[in-house]
Structure 1
């Protein structure tokens, strides 16, 4: 799997509120994007507690600045 790293410090420190829809449920997460995989259509997010999670592009329905 190939991951592209975002090297711009401003983007790495920007907190985002990401709302997803999966299996009939809305989920809201706050964090910053650390990696983007444009081929697998996934992004990696690091939250305030330094927990990393992966989201599928197609599950994301809204992104806002936090």
Structure 2
């Protein structure tokens, strides 16, 4: 048992230079590499949050209150697996087109109502 411990002490693993995953890429077809990259990108995406009736009511109430008080809001949207934060004042809600128009200090912009997952009123 002592000879095994001595051998492990003499073995210096810091000098081992492994090529990691590079050594396997040469053995893979380009189609496989492409599929693996797509899979890795898909794994990075966040799932769309499931909003129930209560969540939608709170979002609607916060938008109405922000318009009435003319205060800034933080709207969190979800699109293509990523979350985005938008700051500004709500100027108009178009139910027919299902959009919400906002303006911040520099510009005005439009958001889709279906992409909104959270609305926070900033005081």
TM class by smaller structure: 0.7 to 0.9
1:12–1:31 distance in 2 versus 1, CA, 3 Å: farther
Q: By how many angstroms is 1:35 displaced?
A: 1.1
Task: Work out which of the residue numbers 36, 47, 51 in structure 1 matches 2:93.
Answer: 36
**Of Structure 1 and Structure 2, which has the larger fraction of its residues in strand?**
1
Query: Relative contact order (C-alpha < 8 Å, sep 6+): which is higher?
Result: 1
In 2, are the aligned partners of 1:31 and 1:46 still within 8 Å (CA)?
yes
Q: Structure 2: which 5+ runs fail to align?
A: 1-66
**Number of aligned residues:** 56
Root mean square deviation, CA, Å: 1.4
Does residue 54 of structure 1 match 2:115? no
**Of Structure 1 and Structure 2, which has the larger fraction of its residues in helix?**
2
In 2, are the aligned partners of 1:20 and 1:59 still within 8 Å (CA)?
yes
Q: Which has the greater radius of gyration?
A: 2
Q: Secondary structure at the match of 1:58?
A: helix
Q: Structure 1: which 5+ runs fail to align?
A: 1-9
Normalised by the length of structure 1, the TM-score is 0.76
